[in-house]
Structure formats: C-alpha cells, structure tokens
Amino acid sequence: MTGRRGFTLAELLVGMVVLGVIGAALTRLFLSQSRFYDQEAQLRRARLVSRMAINTVLSDVRMVEATGGLVSATPTQVTMRVPYAMGVVCANTGAQTTLSLWPVDSTVYATAGFSGYGWRDSLGNVTYVEAGTAVANDNASLCVAANVVTLPGGRVVGVRPPLPATLPTVTAVGTTVFLIQRLTYEFKPSVALPGRMALWRTTVVTGQTDELVAPFDTSAKFRFFVVGSDTAQAAVPSLLTNVRGLELGLTSQSDRAPEGATAPRQAQVVTAVFFNNQLK
C-alpha cells in the first residue's frame, strides 16, 4: 500500500485561522441581526401599547355627550358620563319613567355601573339626573300601549326619579334617554410594571379599577379640543362644557430594553377623539 500524504502543521494552522475568521464574522453577523430583530420587536411592542390604549378609549369617549359629558379633567385624568344604553320613553308617571331600550351588548349592560340617566328635550338640550337614581326591569305592556316597539334583544326598564311631571304625556313619550355610567381614565403608576406609568379605567359607582395597558412615559397626557378651535390645548378649559373632544399624547414604551440597549424603546402616538353624542 502506498502512503497517503496528510496535512502539514502550517496547513492546519492556516485552516484554523480561516475558520476562526469566518466563525467570528458569522457570530458577529448573528449577534447584529439578533439585536436588530429584538430592537424592532420592542418597538412593535411599544406601538402596540399605544394602539391598545387608543382602541380602549375610543369606544367610551366617542359616546360622550358634547355639552355635559365631561365631569372633571386634569392633564392626566378625565372623568366622563359615558352612555351604555339608549332608548325612548314609553310612559312617564309621578313614580318612574318607563323606557324601551335599544339592543345593547349584554356583557356591557351587565358590567356597567349605573350612575344615572340623561334625557334630551325637543331643542337638543340634555339634562342629567344622577342623585338618588335607580333602574330596574319594567312592564313591557306599557310600551305596547304607547305604540313603542321594543326591538329583539332590547329591554324595558324603569328609572327613578322620573322625568319632570310638568312634561305633557305627548311630549314625554318618545323622548330620547340614555343610561350613563361615570368612568375615569387616568395615567398613574403601574402595578404590573413597577416604576412605570399605566393607563387605568375606573367605574366610579362600583369602584372597579383596572390597569388597562402599560408602560408609558411620564409625558403621556390628555389635551383638550374646545369650541371654536381645531387645535388641542394643554390647559384644562375653565368651562368643561366647551370641550368637544380629547387629544391623547401617548409616549408608549416597550416592557424592557432591547438586547444591547440600556433603555426601553419608545413610540410617540398622537390621536384625537371627539365626542360624537351631539346634534349634527
């Protein structure tokens, strides 16, 4: 048998050096791509925080009545009268007002914190009744007698105290009424992510407080659109009845810093939400 020539020591050393260079380059490329991917993932996470906050606030704020829906406000906290069911008057007595409510999501209705109702007169003015109010199921035959149709999925309820007794029956029947709950949205420290800020939602009547989404930078604030201006202002208006919408300045963050970074990624989102419950 003839002998086979192997690798010399010099060839082995050259090969190892080449492999080492290639391996180092591949490792560096892998780390670079891994960090880039993590940075982008954390940026998407920060943007998701803002989108979640916007989607949550939109559903409530759009239903607020324009002239009296906002109860109190600061740059970090707003309390609003938010309708959760609407309907029309079937009957109005000295004891209570009977309403035929339009169909509404059963979960929303069951979890709402009833704090009163609002009724709109023929001129479009809304009056809120909150002190000592109560709501309970009522007799559907009262709506039948008034020729008010209760739609499938709707319900008949009675509210107390009733609409003013001075309203003629012909005026009271058919009046638009909406049941309301007071909700507070607030930017305050997070429990889920200590040391960070979160958006909270509180149902005032029940005291149910939920941390909706986090984290945010401390610069996250509410701004206010007022009558006669198309630009939101930072200062709380002296007359809250002039507020027609809110601007959310959301500087959201990722829940952690990306690999190779010392601070979380941030995404700045600004969106406007206007009160849609108003006469056009």
Q: pLDDT (tens digit, 9 = 90+) per residue, 208-245? A: 999 988 898 899 999 999 998 989 999 999 999 999 99
CB distance 249 to 27 below 8 Å:
no
What string of DSSP letters covers 106-149?
HHHHHH----EEEEE-TTS-EEEE-TT-EEEE--THHHHHTTPP
| pLDDT for res 279 | 62
- How many secondary structure helices (H) and strands (E) does the chain include? 4, 13
Q: What's the chain's Rg over C-alpha atoms?
A: 30
Dist CA 263 CA 261 (whole Å)? 6
Q: Tell me the mean pLDDT in the region 24-38.
A: 74
Q: What pairing do the DSSP bridges indicate for beta strands 197-203 and 221-226? A: unpaired
Q: Tell me the mean pLDDT in the region 189-199.
A: 91
pLDDT in tens, 197-207: 999 999 999 99
Which residues lie closer than 8 Å to 104 by C-beta, 6 or more apart? 84, 85, 86, 153
**Cα 153 to the chain's mean position, in Å?**
25
| pLDDT for res 40 | 77
122 phi-psi bin (left φ>0, alpha ψ -120 to 50, beta other): alpha
pLDDT band at 3 (very low <50, low <70, confident <90, very high): low
pLDDT in tens, 125-184: 899 999 999 999 999 999 999 999 999 999 999 999 999 988 887 788 999 999 999 999
